[in-house]
Structure formats: structure tokens, C-alpha cells
Amino acid sequence: MTLNPLVSVNWLSKNLDIPNLVILDASVKNNVSGLVAEFPNLQIKGARYFDMENVFFDKNNAIPNMMPNAETFTKECQKLGINKNSIIVVYDNLGIYTSPRAWWMFKAMGHPYVAVLDGGLSAWKKAGLPCEEPVKTTFKKGDFEANYQSEMVVDAQQILANLNNENVLILDARGETRFDGSVPEPRENMASGHMPGAKNFPYKKVLENGKMLSKSKLAALFKSFNANEKQLIFTCGSGITACIILLASELVADNPKSLYDGSWSEWGQMGKFPVEAN
């Protein structure tokens, strides 16, 4: 089955009877963007909770939100009853915010059948479709197996090695004032500014009312960066909102793409890496 990276509420509502469909709720309770969920205590009926704050991250790394290893990802997905052939639709309760991170994690772990729900829980609820209060559920163990795609992730040393590479374009999804260093970072003891040569692409530019812009509008945005066939590296504060513009690029650009998982939470550590500010 071919699955688009982004599916509509209409598509999901018409495909609820797919036998191997799994709906994942990737909502988080806290976010540095100060966003507030419209429906904080609801989930799509039958959804399973993909817990990125307590489960799906590297617990041995001081940098927040880092990708867990393949073994941990496999074990936790199996607990959710996810199988090798599961068709996964992931959403969150902020429109499109944390769900692209979960989407990217599955892609990076080698699972091709995954999509983000455009508009998330709010769009589903406003369409009058079935929701429920979350309940703890135990699932039959799945047979999911992660197959880590290392080329989809870059680290700080790879960024350093490519700062002057004309065939690499680094896109930073943080807001303009954080990017140019005119406001302090929300996390303590972080430098203000951006990586040398990086371009600012605030994640909010690809969204409108909690949904992704049309492909024509997205294509125009990416064209403005003269990306051509360059490798695109996406970064942000801690690897969450970078995945929003990464998802947008997946809809309109064939460039090779990767995520700098450590993002500014690693790069912005005082005096550790080169920083530019306007």
C-alpha cells in the first residue's frame, strides 16, 4: 500500500476498517512554544499513546528528545501492538506539532507505512468524528522490528564537517528572534544565535490554522532557498519542530534529507560549537 506522508481527516475516517491500521497519539503535555491544546483530555477513538516524554527518547542522554536506540524502539513499539505491516497514522492535539517527530522516528527506524494526520485531533473533533477519554490499555505484543537508517540522522561532528559545504543546506525551524540571537533561548545556559551558514525557516511558515499549507505554497517556500539538489539538514531547538518542516519538504522536494537530532540543545551549549548572531 502506498501511503502519503500526510493524510486528511476524510481519508482516515474512510479507512478506519483497514485491518492493520494503528492510530497513534503523539501529543505531549509540555512544549517550549507555549501552545495550548484545544482538547487536552481527548483522543481519537481507539488511538494508542505514543509517549515521547517518558518512553520514546534516549534516557541515557542529557540532551532532550534524542532518538532511542533501535532495540528500545522495537521493544516499546511491540508493547503498543505495532507490527511490521502496521499502517500507522500519527497525530497530536496541537494541529501539527509533535506528530511529525513521531512520523520521522518511524521512517528513521525503517518503517515505511506511516503518515501524519493533517490538522490533528482538533480537525478530527471538529469534523464530528468519534473521540474518547484516554484509557490505559494493554495490547497483544506486536512483531515490529526497527531497522535504523543512519543516513536520516546527523550529529554535531557531521554538521561541523559540512558548515562550508555548498552542497548542504541547513534549515533552522526556530523562530526568527531565536535564530538571530535577539532573544535568549528558553533553555538555560544556551548561547543565542544559529549555526554558521544556516538559513532560518520558522516551522509556523508551513502551517495555517493547524494544517499544512498546500503543496504549491510549500514548493514556493522551498524554492526561495535555492535548494536545488542539495542535501537538506533540518534543525530546531530539540529536534521536534524541525520535523514539521522536514515533513513539509517530503511533500514537495526530492532532496536527500536528514535531521540533526541534537539540534540547538546540543549545538547551543556555551562555547562548544561556533555560533553566529545578527
3-state DSSP call for residue 197?
A: coil
Grid coordinates representing 157 are 561532528
CA dihedral 218, 155, 35, 109 (to 10 degrees): 80
Question: Which of 32, 42, 33 shows the shortest CA–CA distance to 93?
Answer: 42
The answer to whether 236 is a known catalytic residue is yes
Long-range contacts of 193-196 (CB under 8 A, 24+ apart): 193/268, 193/275, 193/276, 193/277, 193/278, 194/275, 194/276, 194/277, 195/159, 195/163, 195/170, 195/235, 195/267, 195/273, 195/274, 195/275, 195/276, 196/163, 196/274, 196/275, 196/276
Cα(160)–Cα(247) distance, integer angstroms: 24
Residues 118-128: b if buried by 16+ CB within 10 A, e if exposed:
bbbbbbbbeee
Instruction: Tell me how many degrees the CA angle 108-154-272 measures, rounded to the nearest 5.
Output: 145
Active site residues: 236
